[in-house]
A and B are shown apart, each in its own frame.
Chain A
Amino acid sequence: MPAAAWATLAVAALIILFAAVGLLRVILHLRAVRRTLGSVLGGVTLVAERTAPVPAALGSVNASLKPVRDFCETV
């Protein structure tokens, strides 16, 4: 096999090596991002659970304060 063929093989191997290492790093980063986003999803669900009673509580507060407001408007 001529020397040029060996050189082609070497350069191709170099390119493949760089591409493989880079893509492997991308894969690792993306897996970490996926884990993080899973945790974020759990946190958002927790926030939604903790703020779920807000609309009902605000409605109740407004209903309780309505007689007070009506009275204040008559004074």
Chain B
Amino acid sequence: MVLWWIGNAVLLFVVLPVVIALLNRVLAAVERIRAAADDILAGGGELAGRLEPVPAALARTGRTIDEVAVGATRYAGSVAKLLG
């Protein structure tokens, strides 16, 4: 009977604190993961928002470069004639 009570005491004062400590460590890690995931989601949302005008800006850049290329080619032709 004494050994049984000793076992009960071990359960209460050793096993239970160990279980609680391990669960706390797991919970702390999971909470950090959750916070990091929330931060990633916030950053991803901001990134997606900033990338919204990219396709239109690229199209405008393409048109501008085409115009620059046409003008430069004309200029090059004129300079070539002058330099003869």
Contacts and interface: CB of A to CB of B under 8 A. Distances in A.
Tell me the dominant secondary structure on chain B's binding face. helix
Contacts, number: 117
Interface string A1-35: 01011011001101100110011011001101100
Interface residues of A, number: 40
Tell me the dominant secondary structure on chain A's binding face. helix
Given A15-B16, A19-B19, A67-B72, A39 B41 contact: yes
Given A32-B34, A54-B54, A18 B20 contact: yes
Given A11-B11, A40-B41, A50 B48 contact: yes
Interface residues of B, number: 43
Nearest to B38: A36
Contact of A40 (B4, B30, B34, B37): B37
Contacts of B5: 4, 7
Interface string B24-68: 101100110110011011001101100110110011011001101
Interface of A: 2, 4-5, 7-8, 11-12, 14-15, 18-19, 22-23, 25-26, 29-30, 32-33, 36-37, 39-40, 43-44, 46-47, 50-51, 53-54, 57, 60-61, 64-65, 67-68, 71, 75
Interface of B: 1, 4-5, 7-8, 11-12, 15-16, 19-20, 23-24, 26-27, 30-31, 33-34, 37-38, 40-41, 44-45, 47-48, 51-52, 54-55, 58-59, 61-62, 65-66, 68-69, 72-73, 76, 79
